[in-house]
Amino acid sequence: MRETKIKSLIPVALVFLMLVLGCGQMKNITERNFSDFNPYKGSVSDLLKPELSGSLVTFKFIGSRDITADYKGAVEAKGFTYMQESGGIGAQVEGALVNFSSVADAEAYLAEISAENKGTLSKKGQGKRFTAKEGSIVGWTNGSILCVVTSSFAKPAGNFENAAPF
Protein backbone atom coordinates (compact mmCIF):
# COMPACT_ATOMS: atom_id res chain seq x y z
CA MET A 1 0.00 0.00 0.00
CA ARG A 2 2.76 2.42 0.98
CA GLU A 3 4.66 1.50 -2.19
CA THR A 4 1.57 2.38 -4.29
CA LYS A 5 1.35 5.85 -2.69
CA ILE A 6 5.02 6.50 -3.40
CA LYS A 7 4.64 5.38 -7.02
CA SER A 8 1.64 7.67 -7.50
CA LEU A 9 3.54 10.65 -6.04
CA ILE A 10 6.52 10.26 -8.39
CA PRO A 11 4.72 11.60 -11.53
CA VAL A 12 3.32 14.54 -9.55
CA ALA A 13 6.77 15.37 -8.17
CA LEU A 14 8.33 15.14 -11.65
CA VAL A 15 5.73 17.47 -13.16
CA PHE A 16 6.25 19.94 -10.31
CA LEU A 17 10.02 19.81 -10.77
CA MET A 18 9.70 20.36 -14.52
CA LEU A 19 7.46 23.40 -13.94
CA VAL A 20 9.85 24.94 -11.42
CA LEU A 21 12.88 24.40 -13.63
CA GLY A 22 11.02 25.54 -16.74
CA CYS A 23 9.96 28.83 -15.14
CA GLY A 24 13.53 29.45 -14.02
CA GLN A 25 14.80 28.80 -17.54
CA MET A 26 12.24 31.23 -19.03
CA LYS A 27 13.39 33.91 -16.61
CA ASN A 28 17.03 33.27 -17.56
CA ILE A 29 16.22 33.39 -21.29
CA THR A 30 14.40 36.71 -20.91
CA GLU A 31 17.15 38.25 -18.81
CA ARG A 32 19.89 36.86 -21.04
CA ASN A 33 18.10 38.20 -24.09
CA PHE A 34 18.19 41.80 -22.82
CA SER A 35 21.68 41.53 -21.38
CA ASP A 36 23.00 40.11 -24.68
CA PHE A 37 22.04 43.43 -26.29
CA ASN A 38 23.03 45.84 -23.50
CA PRO A 39 25.19 47.00 -25.22
CA TYR A 40 25.40 44.67 -28.19
CA LYS A 41 29.04 43.79 -28.97
CA GLY A 42 28.65 41.79 -32.17
CA SER A 43 27.94 42.63 -35.78
CA VAL A 44 24.31 43.32 -36.67
CA SER A 45 24.85 41.12 -39.75
CA ASP A 46 25.06 38.15 -37.38
CA LEU A 47 21.49 38.87 -36.24
CA LEU A 48 20.06 38.81 -39.78
CA LYS A 49 19.52 35.07 -40.11
CA PRO A 50 18.69 33.35 -43.43
CA GLU A 51 15.30 32.42 -41.98
CA LEU A 52 13.18 33.69 -39.09
CA SER A 53 10.05 31.89 -37.96
CA GLY A 54 7.03 33.14 -36.06
CA SER A 55 3.99 31.16 -35.02
CA LEU A 56 2.48 30.71 -38.49
CA VAL A 57 4.85 32.63 -40.75
CA THR A 58 8.39 32.31 -42.02
CA PHE A 59 10.64 35.12 -43.18
CA LYS A 60 13.29 34.40 -45.82
CA PHE A 61 16.28 36.73 -45.95
CA ILE A 62 16.70 38.47 -49.33
CA GLY A 63 19.60 40.82 -48.66
CA SER A 64 21.19 43.64 -46.68
CA ARG A 65 23.18 46.81 -47.23
CA ASP A 66 25.30 49.09 -45.05
CA ILE A 67 23.35 52.19 -43.94
CA THR A 68 25.50 53.25 -40.99
CA ALA A 69 25.94 56.75 -42.46
CA ASP A 70 22.14 57.26 -42.30
CA TYR A 71 22.04 56.88 -38.49
CA LYS A 72 23.94 59.57 -36.59
CA GLY A 73 25.82 58.05 -33.65
CA ALA A 74 25.31 54.45 -34.79
CA VAL A 75 28.08 51.90 -34.28
CA GLU A 76 26.71 49.88 -37.22
CA ALA A 77 23.50 49.82 -39.25
CA LYS A 78 22.17 47.48 -41.91
CA GLY A 79 19.17 47.90 -44.14
CA PHE A 80 17.53 44.54 -44.85
CA THR A 81 14.82 42.86 -46.85
CA TYR A 82 12.92 39.71 -45.91
CA MET A 83 10.05 37.97 -47.65
CA GLN A 84 7.23 36.77 -45.41
CA GLU A 85 5.82 33.43 -46.49
CA SER A 86 2.53 32.22 -45.10
CA GLY A 87 0.06 29.88 -46.72
CA GLY A 88 1.55 30.40 -50.18
CA ILE A 89 1.25 34.19 -49.95
CA GLY A 90 4.33 36.39 -49.80
CA ALA A 91 4.81 39.94 -48.54
CA GLN A 92 8.05 41.89 -48.55
CA VAL A 93 9.34 43.51 -45.36
CA GLU A 94 11.98 46.26 -45.42
CA GLY A 95 13.86 47.24 -42.30
CA ALA A 96 16.81 48.79 -40.55
CA LEU A 97 18.77 47.11 -37.78
CA VAL A 98 20.96 49.58 -35.91
CA ASN A 99 23.42 49.16 -33.06
CA PHE A 100 24.08 52.22 -30.90
CA SER A 101 26.70 52.55 -28.20
CA SER A 102 24.02 52.75 -25.47
CA VAL A 103 20.42 51.95 -24.62
CA ALA A 104 19.70 55.68 -24.18
CA ASP A 105 20.91 56.47 -27.71
CA ALA A 106 18.80 53.68 -29.24
CA GLU A 107 15.67 54.76 -27.34
CA ALA A 108 16.19 58.44 -28.21
CA TYR A 109 16.46 57.58 -31.91
CA LEU A 110 13.36 55.38 -31.68
CA ALA A 111 11.42 58.28 -30.10
CA GLU A 112 12.51 60.54 -32.99
CA ILE A 113 11.37 58.04 -35.63
CA SER A 114 8.09 57.52 -33.78
CA ALA A 115 7.42 61.28 -33.66
CA GLU A 116 8.28 61.70 -37.37
CA ASN A 117 5.74 59.01 -38.25
CA LYS A 118 3.11 60.13 -35.70
CA GLY A 119 3.55 56.78 -33.97
CA THR A 120 2.37 55.51 -30.63
CA LEU A 121 5.32 54.91 -28.28
CA SER A 122 5.02 52.26 -25.55
CA LYS A 123 7.10 49.95 -23.38
CA LYS A 124 8.32 46.57 -24.70
CA GLY A 125 10.02 44.40 -22.09
CA GLN A 126 12.96 46.46 -20.94
CA GLY A 127 12.94 48.50 -24.15
CA LYS A 128 10.47 50.61 -26.13
CA ARG A 129 8.39 50.16 -29.27
CA PHE A 130 6.12 52.12 -31.55
CA THR A 131 3.63 51.49 -34.29
CA ALA A 132 2.51 53.91 -36.97
CA LYS A 133 0.44 54.02 -40.13
CA GLU A 134 -2.00 51.39 -38.89
CA GLY A 135 0.79 48.95 -38.05
CA SER A 136 2.62 49.04 -41.37
CA ILE A 137 5.59 50.61 -39.52
CA VAL A 138 6.84 48.97 -36.34
CA GLY A 139 9.97 49.88 -34.40
CA TRP A 140 11.49 48.62 -31.15
CA THR A 141 14.62 48.59 -29.06
CA ASN A 142 16.31 45.83 -27.14
CA GLY A 143 19.35 47.11 -25.31
CA SER A 144 21.44 49.18 -27.72
CA ILE A 145 19.75 47.56 -30.76
CA LEU A 146 17.06 49.46 -32.67
CA CYS A 147 14.94 47.81 -35.36
CA VAL A 148 12.42 49.55 -37.61
CA VAL A 149 10.34 47.52 -40.08
CA THR A 150 7.94 48.60 -42.80
CA SER A 151 5.60 46.69 -45.06
CA SER A 152 2.73 47.43 -47.41
CA PHE A 153 0.32 45.86 -44.94
CA ALA A 154 0.06 45.97 -41.15
CA LYS A 155 0.41 42.27 -40.42
CA PRO A 156 3.86 41.50 -41.92
CA ALA A 157 5.63 44.23 -39.89
CA GLY A 158 4.09 42.93 -36.65
CA ASN A 159 4.81 39.33 -37.62
CA PHE A 160 8.45 40.22 -38.20
CA GLU A 161 8.68 41.84 -34.77
CA ASN A 162 7.35 38.62 -33.21
CA ALA A 163 9.76 36.41 -35.18
CA ALA A 164 12.91 38.51 -34.69
CA PRO A 165 15.35 37.28 -32.04
CA PHE A 166 16.38 40.84 -31.14
- Whether the CB-CB separation of 144 and 37 falls below 8 Å is answered with yes
- Whether the CB-CB separation of 75 and 99 falls below 8 Å is answered with yes
pLDDT for res 50 = 97
pLDDT for res 15 = 43
Task: Please state, in angstroms and rounded to a whole number, the distance separating the CA atoms of residues 157 and 94.
Answer: 9
pLDDT for res 91 = 94
Which domains, and CATH codes, for the chain? 44-163 (3.40.1000)
- Whether the CB-CB separation of 146 and 137 falls below 8 Å is answered with no
pLDDT for res 28 = 32
Residue 98: exposure state from Cβ atoms within 10 A (0-12, 13-18, ≥19): buried
pLDDT for res 97 = 98
Q: What is the pLDDT along the chain (166 residues), one digit of tens a residue?
A: 555 555 554 554 444 434 333 433 333 333 337 778 999 999 999 999 999 998 789 999 999 999 999 999 999 999 999 999 988 889 999 999 999 999 999 999 999 999 999 999 999 999 999 999 999 999 999 999 999 999 998 899 999 999 999 9
pLDDT for res 88 = 82
Nearest residue to 100 (alpha-carbon basis) of 74, 68, 82, 65: 74
pLDDT for res 162 = 92
pLDDT for res 114 = 98
Global pTM exceeds 0.85: no
- Whether the CB-CB separation of 97 and 80 falls below 8 Å is answered with yes
Task: Please state, in angstroms and rounded to a whole number, the distance separating the CA atoms of residues 91 and 62.
Answer: 12
Task: Please state, in angstroms and rounded to a whole number, the distance separating the CA atoms of residues 98 and 105.
Answer: 11
